[in-house]
Amino acid sequence: MRRRIFLKDALAMGTLAATGPFVPRKARAQDVQKVIPEPGPDELRIIESAKKLNKNVDLSFMAWGAHAKGQMEHLAAAFKKQTGIGLGSIVDIGFAALSQRAMAEALARSGKIDLLHVHADTVPTLATAGLAAPLDDYMKAAKFDYRTVGTFADMSRLEGKTYGFVTDGNCHIYLVRKDILENPDNQKRYADKYGVRLEMPTTWKEYLRQGAFFGSDPNTMTGFGSLRARRWGYWWFLINYYNHGLFPFTGDVEPNFDNDVAEAALEMYLAERPHVIRDFDNWGTAQMWPHVGTGRAYQSIYWGGLLPLWESPEKYPQVAGKWRVGVVPGNVLPDGKRLVRTIQAGAPLVVVNRYAPNLDAAAHLAMWWTSPRNSTYITGGPISTVHEPWRAEHFKDAYNMKVYTRPGLDAMFLSLQVNSPSIRVTGALEFNDLLDRHVSDAWLGVVKPREALKRVDADWRTVIARVGKARLKKDIESYRESMPTVDQPVVS
Amino acid sequence: MNKAPAARKGGLFRWGALTPLILALGFLLPVLLLQIYLSVHQWTAYLGPWWAAQFVGLDLFREVLTEERFLRAVARSFIFAGASTLLSVLVGFGLAYLMQDPFRGRSFYYMLFIIPMLTVPVVVGYNFQMLLYESGPVNHILSLLVPGEVRISWLGHPVAAFASLVLIETWNWTPFVMIVMLAGLVSMPKEPVEAARVLGASRWQIFAHVTLPLLKPVLVLTLILRFLEALAEFPKFWTLTQGGPGTFTETIPVYLYLTSWDYFNVSKAAAMSYVVLLFVGVIIYVCIRALLRQKRALDIMFAQEGSGR
């Protein structure tokens, strides 16, 4: 008996000892964790509409696991209780393989997957392939309010129809090391050298100059902490490209890269190279995060969702509390207009499988997830969130304010207003990859910038011929609609 | 009376031998036929069903064979496969040679040497990615060995990235060569070596004039298998470089993957596959001819030795 009591006590003590150190941290995360919100008018309308379907189904969701786990699961369980429509299984797919698996499903037409997470720029391809179902009728039935900051929602639209809903405001913000920027010695040295005050850059020229200044010895500090890897780097080129007021297609569906302005944009992109370490030439996000987090980059343009990670004293004490954040610098066009453009990169969107036997139920669950209150519950996470804010409501949420900080949320809000998509037409993956391929070669110095752009044009022409100009013309109209409507963000 | 069961037996044997072949053909043929169909039609997966694709004849083959990107990918693949095969055969043969005679701890070394081969290629890729950072363990160790700080960008510099992949492939598959060569060495007849030793041949002479010729069939087979395996290597390229930096490590499998699963240009990928199949077929044919020549030479040698006795 005494032995059993001893063993029980020992077990309890052991458990406490093992978990004890984690309890306060976990509790800290929990105390700011939101509870599932009470349904508001929007949510109630979705519930009412879903009840009319009179279904009792458990849907399957092919998603990047990190996205679907947690809040989305909790909400699906709540929806199940209310309507009988829930989530049965999650097929966990790697972030980089989402598009391929979605296309495989489009070809298989199995209907076994009801909901799919996809990248926003693949919507035209998936709609053309017949996989993504238009959701407008369901939206109308539930009077679904699908609005985002800026034109973010338009990334899920094609020819006026809505093919999915955003679940993550993946938008690039600008981060600069406040401690370096505000250091009096640095300010003096900088002013002495350039005759201008050292302050947060608002032009690309100033951004590049500061990067060159602080990244003069990349082995100790790099001037820039943005990606240049094959398959990812072109997103950052597109930021420069859009900032020059350019659009990738001309009115008659011809590629628009082989010109002086695009060359200037590419030169701007390439100007970072002397001030980064050589590993950058082939680095992906997994390598870049700790690089920036351990204080080896003066400034960076990256997903706003990384801010909680880099502001975490537990994860990255080297840089926590040392960031100033905002929107990317802008460019003054020849007509004197100042233009600011940032980019959405890999924004997951929930689409509904047209071949799913429970298409209507799936559409309702997708709306449920992205409704104003529920999507607020989904956004945020204690560290390195993969659900960044995108609705106006998300920016007023107390929890998000704790996770992202007020300046962080402001930076995201401003950035979303001038957020542009990557190439989003039918065949997007091919267009994007061909662009990336030649930009990568230019980054290495294997080809001259203009030659790289000529090659982009040449390669794109073959894709345009294959996809067909008539189809692309319609896609391009939708693409243009998803571009920002303001030249620079408006502080509200 | 006796002939009927014998004929039945012969028939059974024939069918027994033919059935797997027929099953294999039945399994493979539809795929091969579909691939032929796709390679002469222009089908992009998202633009419509494959049966409605436009007939383009041999246009895609022409496009593939005249495309600089494809030819560069072929050249990279052949250089990669050739270099990694040679290195792994050299090292693997060396290890097998050292391991052929029993010694204390032989099993331990055997186990140790085959670990790389048992590691999943994707895991190999991710592990080496961590080892090869500019500020990673490999450069750190090198810095301890040489004066000054070593800062090689193993995966960032085009040549270094390609060389790294060759070395990683060599590390991964040398054990395979070692196992095959060891089996060859162990099963080799001892008499010719003994005879050479009695006749006063040096170790090098025995190796060069007796062991190596006897092992040639195994060696050629190992070279073929290793070369073909390396030619098809994809996981390491994808996990480590994804064809980069720039386009320096874009090999045939990488380009094939991009064409079929990024561009969804299935028809072009089918045509590319057939062209690659043709290249590989030629290589195998040449190697098998060489193998047969070796076998014939050995048969003649043994026959002459036999008649001499």
pLDDT of residue B308: 53
The verdict on a CB contact (< 8 Å) between A440 and B153 is: no
For residue B258, is pLDDT > 90?
Answer: yes
CB pairs under 8 A between A and B: 103
Per the domain annotation, does B20 fall within a domain? Answer: no
Our measurement of the distance from residue A5's CA atom to the centroid of its chain's CA atoms, rounded to an integer in Å, reads 54
For residue B126, is pLDDT > 70?
Answer: yes
Backbone angles phi, psi at A92, to 5 degrees: -85, 120
Q: Tally Cβ neighbours within 10 Å of residue A35.
A: 7
pLDDT of residue A34: 67
Our measurement of the distance from residue A420's CA atom to the centroid of its chain's CA atoms, rounded to an integer in Å, reads 11
The verdict on a CB contact (< 8 Å) between B157 and A283 is: no
The verdict on a CB contact (< 8 Å) between A429 and B262 is: yes
Per the domain annotation, does B40 fall within a domain? Answer: no
pLDDT of residue A407: 95
B44-77 pLDDT, tens per residue?
Answer: 999 999 999 999 999 999 999 999 999 999 999 9
Per the domain annotation, does B263 fall within a domain? Answer: yes
Q: Of residues B135 and A243, which shows the higher confidence score?
A: A243
H/E run at residue A69: none
Q: How far apart are CA A332 and CA A368, in angstroms?
A: 42
Task: Tell me: cis bond preceding B245? Omega within 30 of 0 counts.
Answer: yes
Q: A135: closest CA among A346, A353, A369, A347?
A: A353
User: What's chain A's length in residues?
Assistant: 492
Integer angstrom CA distances of residue B105 from B97, B183, B187, B277 = 16, 18, 21, 44
pLDDT of residue A8: 45
Which amino acid is present at B129? Answer: Q
Per the domain annotation, does B19 fall within a domain? Answer: no
Residue written as token pair 């949510």: A43
pLDDT class of B4 with cuts at 50, 70, 90: low
The verdict on a CB contact (< 8 Å) between B157 and A466 is: no
The verdict on a CB contact (< 8 Å) between B156 and A430 is: no
Where does residue B281 rank: exposed (0-12), middle (13-18), buried (19+ CB within 10 A)? exposed
Kindly state whether A129 is in contact with chain B, defined as any CB-CB distance less than 8 angstroms. Answer: yes
Q: Tally Cβ neighbours within 10 Å of residue B20.
A: 9
Q: A301: closest CA among A415, A212, A405?
A: A415
Where does residue B105 rank: exposed (0-12), middle (13-18), buried (19+ CB within 10 A)? exposed
pLDDT of residue A386: 76
Integer angstrom CA distances of residue A63 from A53, A57, A350, B98 = 25, 19, 9, 51
pLDDT of residue A26: 36
Per the domain annotation, does B8 fall within a domain? Answer: no
Kindly state whether A283 is in contact with chain B, defined as any CB-CB distance less than 8 angstroms. Answer: yes
- Substitution target from A95, A237, A282 for chain B, most B beta carbons within 10 A: A282
User: In Å, how far is B36's CA from the nearest CA of chain A?
Assistant: 19
**How many domains, chain B?**
1
Task: With beta carbons less than 8 A apart as the criterion, state whether A351 and A116 touch.
Answer: yes
Chain A CB contacts of B44 under 8 Å are 427, 466-467
Find the domain containing B123 and state its range.
48-308
What is the CATH classification number for the domain harbouring B71? Answer: 1.10.3720.10
User: In Å, how far is A133's CA from the nearest CA of chain B?
Assistant: 14
Interhelix angle B68-99/B266-308, nearest 10 degrees: 30
pLDDT of residue A67: 73
Which residues have CB under 8 Å from B50's CB, separation 6+? B37, B38, B41, B43, B266
Q: Of residues A419 and B291, which shows the higher confidence score?
A: A419
Where does residue A188 rank: exposed (0-12), middle (13-18), buried (19+ CB within 10 A)? exposed
Tokens of B188: 């080799």
Chain A CB contacts of B244 under 8 Å are 229-231, 281-282, 440
Per the domain annotation, does B226 fall within a domain? Answer: yes
Bridging pattern class, strands A165-166 and A342-343 = unpaired
Per the domain annotation, does B63 fall within a domain? Answer: yes
Q: Three-state DSSP class for B302?
A: helix
Which amino acid is present at A107? Answer: L
User: In Å, how far is A439's CA from the nearest CA of chain B?
Assistant: 8
Per the domain annotation, does B13 fall within a domain? Answer: no
Tens of each residue's pLDDT in chain A, 492 residues: 344 444 444 444 444 344 333 333 333 444 455 678 899 999 999 999 999 999 999 999 998 877 777 888 999 999 999 999 999 999 888 878 888 999 999 999 999 999 999 999 999 999 999 999 999 999 999 999 999 999 989 999 999 999 999 988 889 999 999 999 999 999 999 999 999 999 999 999 999 999 999 999 998 999 999 998 888 899 999 999 999 999 999 999 999 999 999 999 999 999 999 999 988 888 888 888 899 999 999 999 999 989 999 999 999 999 999 999 999 999 999 999 999 999 988 778 999 999 999 999 999 999 999 999 999 999 887 665 778 999 999 999 998 998 899 999 999 999 999 999 999 999 999 999 999 999 999 999 999 999 999 999 999 999 999 999 999 999 999 999 999 999 999 986
Q: How far apart are CA B150 and CA A33, in angstroms?
A: 46
B260-279 pLDDT, tens per residue?
Answer: 999 999 999 999 999 999 99
User: In Å, how far is B137's CA from the nearest CA of chain A?
Assistant: 14
